[in-house]
Structure 1
Amino acid sequence: MSPSLIYHVTSSLDGYIARPDGHIDWFASLRQADEEYSFQYFYSGIDALLMGRGTYEALLKRGGAWPYPGKPCVVLTRLPLPRASDEVQLTHCTPAQAVAALGEAGFQRVWLVGGSLLAGSCYTAGLIDEVVINLVPHLLGAGIPLLATGMERSLTLSDQRRFNSGTLQVHYKVQNPASQQPPSRINAA
């Protein structure tokens, strides 16, 4: 059985997840205790992580301890990179193959961690089941978009909440493309 893939991400109000240079300093200082609690609750409910090379390299550059302890993390990369933790697996495969392998290993809820390119590829391939966006009250004007590529698809609002910082969290279920009805045609008589 395929696990649920959840794209949980922070975005500026104008749809960017990072500055053009990849920096995310614009939202870290705004985060308050209620947001941290919400994130810890989310993190406790996932089994594994799926990450792209760009996000992984940004975490390595930041230094310090591995920020996602206690969860296996599959990083999709073609490059030989250092392993930040024993929990990190570096592999070269498609997102669909990675998700299938995580499912075969018994993982049920997988967090798609950052990465506009990987998120766009997963979304286009129909792999993303849920989208959780923390909309920060900040306009960047330019940067790395929420999804680098994608297809039109309807979402169903599952939950919403407002944090003390003014950040809004919206949680959507991605509708299965097969279940969507094509627009009805009106016949002109």
Structure 2
Amino acid sequence: MGTLSYTATVSLDGYVADADGDFQWSAPDAEVFRFHVDRMGAVAHEVLGRHTYALMEYWQNPPEGEEWGPDEQEFARRWQAIPRTLVSSTMTAADLASDTDRLVPRLDPGTLRRIVDEADGEVEIFGPTTAAEAIRAGMVSDFLFFVVPKVVGGGLRAMPPDARLDLELAEQRVFGGGTVFLHYRSR
């Protein structure tokens, strides 16, 4: 049986994308990216919405003419090995990037519970819209936030506005560029 975590890179004011939908300000520097590579070793399953799934297709194959360094290659290797569940009512099985990926039209708590129960480690739910119902239902045991020293003033919130949680700090780390990693656990 696995555990459920929610991971997000957020602005200091709590957004994963600004009011225009831009999130380029959240791109990790080399030190933060290396940390992501290392933490991917614990992830046994990914649950993503269609926007995040499309964004992460980049890691299936390097873009033509672009060469990945060792960290990018290792991240891609780990990413490709992780089974993924795509949550989308508009995409079809033909849109899946891998034979190990599966498609569900809606992520209800029962489906998510089965994914977590069948996992052999951490199930990472990635994307605030996809994670919202699980957060509200108290299903998420670990919250992993990479807080970027930037205020964007509005946009897509990292947490649902009606979520009420009691959390405890389990781990923290400050990176050289000012990004802070905060790992909280549900009480």
Partner amino acid, structure 2, of 1:154: D
Contact 2:143/2:185 (<8 A) preserved: yes
Compared with structure 1, are the counterparts of its residues 86 and 128 closer, same or farther at alpha carbon in structure 2 (3 Å cutoff)?
same
Q: Which amino acid aligns with 1:112?
A: I
Aligned to 2:52: 55
The structure with the greater share of residues assigned to helix is: 2
- CA–CA distance in structure 2, aligned partners of residues 154 and 104 of structure 1: 23
Give the 3 Å change call, closer, same or farther, for CA 106–151 of structure 1 in structure 2. closer
2:45/2:119 contact within 8 Å kept: no
Relative to 1, partners in 2 of residues 1:130 and 1:150: Cα closer, same or farther, differing over 3 Å? farther
Preserved contact between residue 74 and residue 98 of structure 1 (Cα < 8 Å): no
Which of these two proteins has the greater Rg computed from alpha carbons?
Answer: 1
Summarize the Cα distance change of 1:34–1:80 in structure 2 as closer, same or farther, 3 Å threshold.
closer
* Secondary structure in 2 matching 1:69: helix
Partner residue of 2:125?
A: 112
- In the TM superposition, residue 149 of structure 1 has moved relative to its aligned partner by 4.2
Partner of 1:89: 102
Partner of 2:10: 11
In structure 1, list runs of 5 or more residues that go unmatched.
Answer: 176-189
Equivalent of 1:71 in 70, 75, 82: 82
Q: Is the CA contact (8 Å cut-off) linking 1:134 and 1:167 kept in structure 2?
A: yes
- Determine if contact 1:117/1:149 at 8 Å carries over to the other structure: no
With structure 1 as the length reference, what TM-score do the two structures score?
0.80
Q: Percent identical across equivalent pairs?
A: 25
Taking the TM superposition and a 5 Å limit, the aligned residue runs for 1:102-181 are 102-114=115-127, 116-175=128-187
> For the structure 1 residues 95 and 163, does the alpha-carbon distance in structure 2 shift closer, same or farther, using more than 3 Å as the test?
farther
Query: CA offset at residue 55 of structure 1?
Result: 2.1
Q: What does residue 184 of structure 1 align with?
A: none
- For residues 79-118 of structure 1, the C-alpha deviation after alignment (integer angstroms, 9 at most, x for no partner) is 233112223211124342332222343433101112x222
Change in CA separation of 1:5 and 1:103 when aligned onto 2, cut-off 3 Å: closer
Distance 2:52 2:20 in 1: 12
SS of 2:109 mapped into structure 1: helix
Hey, what's the Cα distance between the residues in 2 that align with 1:80 and 1:123?
Answer: 24
Q: After superposition, what is the alpha-carbon deviation per residue over 1:109-130, rounded to whole angstroms, capped at 9, x for unaligned?
A: 101112x222221100111100
Give the equivalent residue in structure 1 for 2:41: 44
Q: In 2, distance between residues paired with 1:41 and 1:95?
A: 30
Following the alignment from structure 1 to structure 2, what is the Cα–Cα distance between the partners of residues 33 and 79?
Answer: 35
Which has the higher mean CA deviation after the structures are superposed, 144-153 or 127-136? 144-153
Tell me the number of residue pairs that the alignment of Structure 1 and Structure 2 aligns: 170
Coordinate RMSD, CA, aligned: 2.2
For the structure 1 residues 143 and 72, does the alpha-carbon distance in structure 2 shift closer, same or farther, using more than 3 Å as the test? same
Q: Is the 8 A contact 2:4 2:116 kept in 1?
A: no
Classify the secondary structure of the residue corresponding to 1:97. Answer: helix
CA contact (8 A) 1:124 1:149 kept: no
